């Protein structure tokens, strides 16, 4: 007969089958009392792989541990996709259609935004020199060659830098239920230079520093999103206004109405996905850039090739020295030459670093340089041409084709910011700064290409309202640029920290480049801030509102985690075995004996680490348990589909007839289906059989086993449970197998089938929260706002694709 053996000392139990490839063991470990120092654990590469794994005891009493070998696997972590050959070229082609629409259409208005009257030759050369070196330093060197390397497993943007730092330094809290999904890689102190180690330590210990990094990450996302509302309205409105070149008497109402219609169509086609949209838009942007390059060569050869001397940075310095304050103010127009660069980094997740570098260095950058140089050559010999240099400088017979391409390019220019907002919101949700809403992956090949329906419709409403209210590009242009420069400054600071903490570079190698780029950012930002009274206040105000919303949600989630901490423990803390063999609650929960409910109970828990809260509440409130229980967990993997042989992982828990099923699924796999109970039962059955055959050859099991009433009573477990070895996790001990007899397997299979045949119950928790009595008024207001958002964004049980008459909702209340 099989018994439950209680070990004298508790140790983490490792799986006896399917050993993890990365050295991460199973077992249940504390998720509440993880010290910062406990994260310093060296991996094979000198990085931290996991948190402290200390076994838990139940109120000082020793008991069996849960067998949780399937909680962590190397494939659970997001991995950067690397593309070569035709896929790399395809991505580079796509990136031109999405990323460079904004920065690529800047030649339409940079000179007209910089000059207010005909410039002198020296001023023209000076401004051209600033444009050339700004594109070189701010875009090519800073972003394309440096910042794109600061990705978080392929994801880009300022917030991804913050997420990357949070994996290499203890600067933020994580959802305790999803700790196994976070790949911590914090270096040991001895692996860092003294200055780098001191910097990391100061940041980790300083509440102000951690809060500042959090604020920078959230503000950067908010500012990109506020530009995401402004950019489509600006670009499409500018495109429609371009029709005035051929029809000067077009009315403002026609312009605004046409703009709103185009914007609506633009957002309606977003569900098609990044690949289809990028492949459609890419020819437009490619032809547009080709027009700019060819026009530039034409004007350079025909009019004034002497403007090429602007490649000397001395002319830029001379211009600034000569004009002083006025030259500083003119930088607000020059910076429009690289607006959209923040989307280049944020869109990294949808494409790849090599694809973006290839498309920028080999095509977009040369085309833009030729465009600005050619326009300068034309302006130098044609007074008044600065007002609309692109169309004035068009060669004879190309005006109408250029106008058509310009309008189309301006329309698709907004795609860069739309795609960026999708990427950034998905990053926010991963770190619990925004409620979990639907995210649609639109490609089986490129895993980072996503579409967020809720955000898409909000952006559509916002951009239509902005276009209708502002109704001209002049007023919209005043609101443009400030957020861009804030984000570029934030990127400079975050990537510098990444270089010190993640890349472990010598601080002396970082100091001079950081000072140089930060000074450029600061000069441009200070110039852009002069636009605040005349329109830039709108984007800053919108960004502030969004940042407050994200911070509020994160604050509420942290309070929720604290309230739920009391329910996070292994099953050995919840139940024990009394002397007469009956299963009862531990003394901590009243010590009452459990009765049983006939049936097969599936307890839903999204991504749990230990015992599901709904199960704890079910047992402690009803003092009863289903005949056979399964803790049902989902592990979303960043891949289209998970092969069936890798999809399911079953482990046995300390409570008799209690199992944990972890389903790893890709974003195109359907997991919750009407026959979910049958699938779960089948996986548990296969696990029981495999566990038996792992120790000895299994003798054939009778096809029909008559159920024995004694095997269904909770107090009689002599014929039904396996021994879970409790010994130190050494290489020799992990090979020891408890002896499993055919009778044990048969009894477990009979009980499983009997429970399933009787009824299948889907048990789901519904957690309600209320504010503790005596909470301060401001804190109470914040928590009330969070609870209102939480109640209106929760997944509805009716949306589950299971038989509704088998669903049980267990409600419980937590105080925050």
Residue 332 has phi, psi (to 5 degrees) of -60, -30
pLDDT of residue 27: 30
pLDDT exceeds 80 at position 112: yes
Q: How far, in Å, are 685, 712, 747 from residue 657 at the CA level?
A: 11, 10, 11
Place of tokens 């309202």: 465
- Exposure string over 740-752, b if 16+ CB within 10 A, otherwise e: bbeebbbbbbbbb
The C-alpha torsion from 227 through 547 and 793 to 158, rounded to 10°, is 70
pLDDT of residue 52: 33
Q: What number is the average pLDDT over the span 236-244?
A: 77
Q: How far, in Å, are 37, 170, 198, 452 from residue 205 at the CA level?
A: 12, 9, 11, 37
Comparing C-alpha atoms, which of 345, 340, 319 is closest to residue 331? Answer: 319
For 693, the 3-state DSSP assignment is: helix
Q: Higher-confidence residue: 591 or 496?
A: 496
Comparing C-alpha atoms, which of 341, 286, 334, 282 is closest to residue 144? Answer: 341
DSSP-derived secondary structure letter, 450: E
pLDDT exceeds 90 at position 810: no
- Which class for 613: exposed (0-12), middle (13-18), buried (19 or more C-beta within 10 A)? buried
pLDDT digits (tens, 9 = 90+) for 278-317: 999 999 999 999 999 999 999 999 998 999 999 999 999 9
pLDDT digits (tens, 9 = 90+) for 130-186: 999 999 999 999 999 999 999 998 899 999 999 999 999 999 988 877 777 788 889
For 428, the 3-state DSSP assignment is: helix
- Residues 347 and 415: beta-carbon distance below 8 Å: no
H or E element that contains 372: helix 365-379
User: Using alpha carbons only, what angle is made at residue 264 by residues 233 and 405, rounded to the nearest 5 degrees?
Assistant: 65
Cβ-Cβ contacts under 8 Å for 166 (sequence gap 6 or more): 172, 174, 431
- Residues 333 and 113: beta-carbon distance below 8 Å: yes
H or E element that contains 286: helix 274-302
Q: What number is the average pLDDT over the span 371-383?
A: 92
- Please name the residue ranges forming H helices in 385-528: 389-392, 399-412, 415-430, 453-470, 473-478, 482-501, 507-528
pLDDT digits (tens, 9 = 90+) for 478-495: 777 888 899 999 999 999
pLDDT exceeds 80 at position 646: yes
Comparing C-alpha atoms, which of 63, 59, 54 is closest to residue 27? Answer: 54
Q: What number is the average pLDDT over the span 202-219?
A: 94
pLDDT exceeds 60 at position 43: no
Return the axis-axis angle of helices 274-302 and 85-98, rounded to nearest 10°: 70
- Indicate the pTM of the whole model: 0.82
Return the axis-axis angle of helices 252-268 and 453-470, rounded to nearest 10°: 170
Q: Which residues pair with residue 651 across a beta bridge?
A: 660
How high does pLDDT run on average in the chain? 81
DSSP-derived secondary structure letter, 769: E
pLDDT exceeds 50 at position 357: yes
Q: Which of 35-44, 584-593, 601-610 has the highest mean pLDDT?
A: 584-593
Comparing C-alpha atoms, which of 31, 30, 27 is closest to residue 69? Answer: 27
- Exposure string over 167-201, b if 16+ CB within 10 A, otherwise e: bbbbbbebbbbebbbbbbbbbeeeebeeebbebbe
Interatomic CA distance for residues 4 and 577, integer angstroms: 9
Interatomic CA distance for residues 367 and 297, integer angstroms: 10
Interatomic CA distance for residues 775 and 239, integer angstroms: 54
- Residues 471 and 256: beta-carbon distance below 8 Å: yes
Angular region, 639: left φ>0, alpha ψ -120 to 50, beta rest: beta
Instruction: Give the least confident one: 29-43, 155-169, 276-290, 561-575.
Output: 29-43
Share of the chain above pLDDT 90, in %: 42
pLDDT exceeds 60 at position 515: yes
Angular region, 651: left φ>0, alpha ψ -120 to 50, beta rest: beta
pLDDT of residue 714: 35
Interatomic CA distance for residues 386 and 380, integer angstroms: 9
H or E element that contains 376: helix 365-379
Q: Higher-confidence residue: 40 or 108?
A: 108
Q: What number is the average pLDDT over the span 196-205?
A: 94
What is the three-state SS of 196-231?
Answer: HHHHHHHHHHCHHHHHHHHHHHHHHHHHHHHHHHHH
pLDDT exceeds 50 at position 652: yes
Q: How many CB atoms lie within 10 A of CB 665?
A: 18
pLDDT of residue 700: 46
pLDDT of residue 68: 61
pLDDT of residue 223: 92
- CA neighbours closer than 13 Å in the CB half-sphere of residue 716: 11
Q: What number is the average pLDDT over the span 684-688?
A: 91
Distance, C-alpha 458 to centroid of its chain: 19
Q: How far, in Å, are 97, 267, 268, 350, 639 from residue 457 at the CA level?
A: 22, 7, 9, 20, 26
Distance, C-alpha 143 to centroid of its chain: 20
Q: What number is the average pLDDT over the span 761-775?
A: 88
Under the banding of pLDDT at 50, 70 and 90, the label for residue 675 is confident
pLDDT exceeds 50 at position 211: yes
pLDDT of residue 715: 36
Q: What number is the average pLDDT over the span 222-246?
A: 82
pLDDT of residue 50: 33
The C-alpha torsion from 416 through 419 and 421 to 424, rounded to 10°, is -110
- Residues 103 and 367: beta-carbon distance below 8 Å: no
Comparing C-alpha atoms, which of 490, 765, 754 is closest to residue 606? Answer: 765
First vs last C-alpha separation in the chain = 48
- CA neighbours closer than 13 Å in the CB half-sphere of residue 414: 30
Q: How far, in Å, are 161, 225, 430, 789 from residue 552 at the CA level?
A: 21, 17, 16, 10
DSSP-derived secondary structure letter, 32: S
pLDDT digits (tens, 9 = 90+) for 710-752: 333 333 333 344 333 333 333 334 444 455 677 888 888 999 9
pLDDT exceeds 80 at position 238: no
- Residues 221 and 494: beta-carbon distance below 8 Å: no
Q: What number is the average pLDDT over the span 435-458?
A: 90
User: Using alpha carbons only, what angle is made at residue 437 by residues 810 and 634, rounded to the nearest 5 degrees?
Assistant: 55
Interatomic CA distance for residues 394 and 403, integer angstroms: 10
Under the banding of pLDDT at 50, 70 and 90, the label for residue 797 is low
């Amino acid at each position: 007969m099989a018994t439950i053996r209680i070990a004298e000392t508790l140790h983490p139990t490792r799986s006896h089958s399917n050993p993890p490839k990365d050295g991460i063991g199973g077992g249940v470990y504390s998720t509440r009392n993880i010290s910062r120092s406990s994260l310093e654990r060296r991996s094979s590469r000198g990085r931290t792989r996991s948190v402290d794994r200390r076994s838990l005891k139940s109120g000082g009493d020793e008991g069996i541990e849960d067998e949780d070998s399937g909680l962590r696997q190397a494939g659970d972590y997001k991995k950067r996709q690397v593309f070569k050959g035709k896929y790399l070229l395809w991505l580079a082609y796509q990136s031109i259609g999405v990323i460079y629409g904004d920065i690529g259409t800047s030649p339409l208005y940079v000179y007209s935004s910089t000059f207010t009257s005909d410039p002198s030759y020296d001023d023209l050369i000076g401004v051209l020199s600033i444009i050339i070196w700004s594109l070189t330093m701010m875009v090519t060197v800073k972003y394309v060659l440096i910042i794109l390397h600061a990705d978080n497993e392929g994801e880009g943007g300022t917030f991804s830098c913050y997420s990357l730092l949070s994996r290499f330094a203890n600067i933020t809290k994580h959802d305790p239920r999803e700790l196994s999904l976070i790949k911590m890689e914090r270096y040991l102190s001895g692996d860092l230079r003294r200055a780098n180690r001191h910097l990391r330590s100061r940041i980790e210990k300083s509440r102000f520093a951690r809060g500042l990094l959090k604020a920078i990450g959230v503000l950067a996302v908010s500012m990109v999103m506020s530009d995401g509302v402004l950019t489509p309205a600006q670009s499409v409105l500018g495109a429609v206004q371009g029709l005035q070149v051929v029809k000067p008497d077009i009315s403002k109402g026609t312009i605004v109405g046409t703009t709103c219609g185009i914007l609506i169509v633009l957002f309606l086609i977003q569900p098609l996905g990044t690949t289809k949209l990028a492949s459609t838009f890419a020819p437009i942007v490619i032809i547009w850039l080709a027009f700019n390059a060819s026009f530039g060569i034409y004007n350079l050869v025909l009019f004034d090739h002497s403007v090429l001397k602007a490649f000397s940075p001395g002319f830029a310095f001379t211009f600034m020295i000569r004009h002083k304050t006025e030259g500083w103010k003119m930088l607000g127009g020059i910076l429009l030459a690289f607006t959209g660069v923040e989307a280049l980094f944020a869109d990294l997740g949808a494409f790849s670093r090599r694809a973006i570098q290839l498309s920028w260095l080999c095509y977009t950058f040369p085309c833009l340089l030729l465009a600005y140089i050619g326009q300068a050559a034309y302006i130098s010999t044609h007074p008044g041409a600065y007002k609309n240099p692109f169309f004035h400088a068009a060669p004879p017979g190309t005006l109408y084709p250029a106008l058509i391409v310009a309008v189309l390019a301006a329309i698709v220019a907004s795609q860069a910011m739309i795609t960026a907002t999708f990427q950034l919101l998905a990053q926010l949700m991963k770190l619990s700064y925004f409620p979990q809403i639907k995210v649609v992956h639109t490609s089986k090949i490129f895993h980072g290409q996503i579409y967020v329906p809720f955000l898409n419709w909000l952006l559509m409403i916002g951009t239509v309202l902005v276009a209708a209210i502002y109704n001209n590009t002049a007023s919209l242009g005043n609101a443009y640029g400030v957020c861009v420069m804030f984000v570029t400054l934030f990127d400079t600071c975050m990537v510098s920290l990444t270089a010190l903490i993640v890349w472990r570079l010598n601080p002396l190698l970082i100091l001079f480049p950081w000072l140089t780029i930060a000074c450029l950012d600061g000069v441009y930002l200070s110039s852009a801030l002069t636009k605040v009274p005349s329109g830039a206040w709108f984007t800053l105000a919108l960004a502030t509102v969004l940042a407050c919303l994200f911070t509020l949600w994160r604050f509420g989630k942290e309070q929720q985690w604290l309230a739920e901490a009391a329910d996070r423990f292994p099953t050995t803390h919840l139940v024990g075995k009394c002397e007469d063999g009956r299963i009862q609650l531990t003394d901590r929960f009243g010590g009452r004996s459990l009765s049983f409910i006939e049936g097969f109970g599936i307890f839903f828990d999204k991504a749990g680490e230990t015992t599901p809260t709904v199960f704890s509440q079910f047992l402690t409130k009803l003092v009863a348990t289903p005949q056979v229980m399964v803790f049902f967990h989902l592990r979303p993997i960043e891949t289209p589909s998970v092969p069936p042989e890798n999809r399911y992982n079953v482990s046995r828990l300390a409570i008799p007839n209690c199992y944990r099923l972890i389903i790893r699924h890709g974003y195109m796999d359907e997991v919750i289906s009407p026959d979910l109970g049958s699938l779960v039962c089948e996986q548990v059955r296969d696990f029981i059989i495999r566990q038996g055959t792992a120790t000895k050859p299994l003798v054939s099991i009778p096809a029909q086993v008559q159920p024995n009433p004694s095997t269904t009573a909770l107090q009689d477990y002599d014929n039904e449970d396996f021994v879970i070895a409790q010994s130190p996790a050494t290489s020799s001990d992990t090979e020891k197998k408890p002896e499993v007899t055919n009778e044990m397997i048969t009894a477990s299979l009979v009980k499983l089938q009997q429970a399933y045949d009787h009824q299948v119950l889907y048990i789901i928790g519904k957690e309600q929260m209320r504010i503790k009595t005596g909470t301060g008024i401001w804190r109470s207001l914040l928590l009330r706002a969070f609870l209102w958002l939480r109640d209106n964004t929760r997944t509805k049980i009716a949306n589950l694709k299971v038989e509704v008459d088998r669903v049980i909702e267990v409600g419980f209340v937590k105080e925050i």
